[in-house]
Amino acid sequence: MRELPADVATAFDRMWADLEPVGRAADTGGYRRYAWTAPDRQLREWFAAECDRRGLEVTTDRFGNQWAWWGDVDASVAAGRPGVAIGSHLDSVPDGGAYDGPLGVVSALACVDALRRAGTTPDPPLGVVNFADEEGARFGVACMGSRVITGAIDPDRARALKDADGVTMAEALRAAGGDPDTIGRDYQALARVGTFLELHVEQGRGLADLGRPVAVGSSIWPHGRWRLDLLGQANHAGTTRLADRHDPMLPLAEAILAARSAAQRHGCVATIGKTRIEPGGVNAIPSRVQAWLDARGADPDAVRQVVAAVGQAARVEPAQESWTPVTAFDDELVEWLARVLDDAPTLGTGAGHDAGILANAGKRVAMLYVRNPTGVSHSPDEYAERADCHAGVAALTRVVARFVGMDAVGGASSGMDGTPPASEPGGDR
Ligand SMILES: [Zn+2]
């Protein structure tokens, strides 16, 4: 499928228009779709309604990720043929763009529409997923939905995480109608997934520079988040002599500069983009500063060196809040996808994804990226041309069709490209 059928393109456009106003801030035009808040609830209801529209029943796993399977996935698992899942997330960073996450979910639903034209049932079954709390905007740990169900984070730690208002994740889950006591590793939900394909807007300018609409993801850099706790002494900004001050803003300033220079030195990227300053008065020396460091790079040792340099500059030990090792997607699969998609380019990325968490849990995973002409992401400027979005759905449909035995829809030619490489045995760790 090189051209998306007109009715599928229309369905895509309708879904996109549905989502446009949800959680959009009037002042910035950015999205504030945080986990377990009112906009998130609206998005989850929208997802369930779209699945229902396609005759797919939504189930939630032991975190609250939403899954809709087309075909009897449990019977297929019992027969040794786990399903193929597609999808992404609907939550956002503070003042995020429209595409990061929703493009993958809307494309997955449109892909189901395109495959429906075959008039058969996918074999193995095809699942559409909306991962919960991917951005970690509210509780500080990204990819929470996939981390919890794969056992990559301890449920006790997850429950105890607090948002900026002091609300714990347990309280937030309960307020959203969930049961925090039951969250944890979900063997059944995971066993259903043999392969996961996540389509995502590109978060850089790789494709724009190559003049191609779609790429295949090759790897995700190792990345993590660290917290700096800097203590000082609150005092009067007018009457306290400079020599008598214990001002935690000074080590913060040094930490920020060190993050930049160490990242440059070690070929990484590092960002301090969030701080909490107490008491936060214009005329008061702060008593306490918390700052969060995000660091990523192709080489994990280099990332560690950056973190150490920042800690040294701030004279504290950075507290690690999350760490995700390098994620290399299945080479053979990446190569096959690129070949099927007319020699699509392959790109590595510094952005974390649920796909990476599932890959690290032993699942066979691949990603497709859709061109972002601005290269900007996690901002209202994030963008993709509508024609490229449609090309993304067509590409996704082409590869998924071959995974689920609907080659006619995918437009497979006979020969080697027709079937995806077989998954490794024991892939459902
Ligand atoms: Zn995303």
**pLDDT at residue number 424:** 47
What is the structure's pLDDT at 102?
98
Average pLDDT over residues 90-97: 96
pLDDT at 426: 38
**How many angstroms separate the alpha carbon of residue 183 from the centre of ligand 1?**
22
Please compute the mean of the pLDDT values over residues 177-196 and round it to a whole number. 96
pLDDT computed for residue 429 by the predictor: 35
Confidence of residue 350 (pLDDT cuts 50, 70, 90): confident
CA 11 to ligand 1 center in whole angstroms: 22
Tell how far the Cα of 101 is from the centroid of ligand 1, in angstroms: 4
Distance CA 285, CA 277 (A): 10
Look over the chain and give the mean of its residue pLDDT values, rounded to a whole number: 93
pLDDT for the residue numbered 412: 58
For residue 105, the CA-to-ligand 1 centroid distance in Å is 10
* Contact call for residues 142 and 136 (beta carbons, < 8 A): yes
The owner of tokens 């029943």 is 57
Instruction: Decide which of 33 and 117 is more confident.
Output: 33
- 82: alpha, beta or left? (left if phi > 0; alpha if psi -120 to 50): beta
- Tokens 């930490």 identify what position? 255
Exposure of 176 by Cβ count < 10 A (0-12 exposed, 13-18 middle, 19+ buried)? middle
Cα(150) to centroid(ligand 1), Å: 18
| Cα–Cα distance measured from residue 349 to residue 346, given in angstroms and rounded to the nearest whole number | 10
The pLDDT tens digits of the residues spanning 316-340 come to: 999 999 898 888 888 899 999 999 9
Distances in whole angstroms, Cα of residue 291 to Cα of each of 91, 224, 336: 23, 14, 43
Q: What's the CA-to-centroid distance between 186 and ligand 1, angstroms?
A: 22
263 C-alpha to center of ligand 1: Å? Answer: 23
Q: With pLDDT > 70 as the criterion, what percentage of the chain qualifies?
A: 97
Single-letter residue type at 381: D
CA of 94 relative to ligand 1 center, distance in Å: 13
Distance (Å) from CA 368 to ligand 1 centroid: 12
Q: What is the pLDDT of residue 417?
A: 61
Q: Are the beta carbons of 395 and 368 closer than 8 angstroms?
A: yes
- pLDDT digit string (tens) for 128-155? 999 999 999 999 999 999 999 999 999 9
Q: How far is the CA of 119 from the centre of ligand 1 (A)?
A: 32
Quote the ligand 1 centre to 378 CA distance (angstroms): 9
Distance (Å) from CA 303 to ligand 1 centroid: 22
Report residue 298's pLDDT band, with 50, 70 and 90 as the boundaries.
confident
Q: Determine contact, residues 317/52, Cβ cutoff 8 Å.
A: no
Paired tokens of 258? 């060190």
Q: Reply yes or no on whether the pLDDT at 422 is more than 80.
A: no
Instruction: Report yes or no: 182 and 62 within 8 Å, Cβ to Cβ.
Output: yes
Of the pLDDT bands very low, low, confident and very high (cuts 50, 70, 90), residue 421 is confident
What's the confidence (pLDDT) of residue 420? 80
What average pLDDT does the segment 404-415 reach?
Answer: 71
100 Cα to the center of ligand 1, angstroms: 4
Mean pLDDT over 23-48 rounds to 97
Please give the biggest Cα pair distance in the chain.
Answer: 82
Expressed in angstroms and rounded, the spacing between residue 92 Cα and the centre of ligand 1 is 8
**What's the token pair of residue 348?**
């590595």
Report how far ligand 1's centroid is from the alpha carbon of 210 (Å).
Answer: 22
First to last CA, the chain: 33
* Cα 407 to ligand 1 centroid, rounded to whole Å: 29
- The pTM assigned to this predicted structure is 0.84
Higher pLDDT, 421 or 75: 75
Please give the distance, rounded to the nearest whole angstrom, from the Cα atom of residue 243 to the centre of ligand 1: 47
Mean pLDDT is lowest, of 9-13, 285-289, 297-301, 322-326, for: 322-326
Gap from CA of 335 to ligand 1 centroid (Å):
23
Choose between 347 and 67: higher pLDDT: 67
The per-residue pLDDT for 425 is 39
Q: What is the pLDDT of residue 219?
A: 86
pLDDT at 115 over 60: yes
Give 418's pLDDT tier (boundaries 50, 70, 90).
low
- If you measure from the C-alpha of residue 181 to the centroid of ligand 1, how many angstroms do you get, rounded to a whole number? 27
Tens digits of per-residue pLDDT, 187-240? 999 999 999 999 999 998 889 989 999 999 988 889 999 999 999 999 999 999
What pLDDT is stored for residue 414 in this prediction? 45
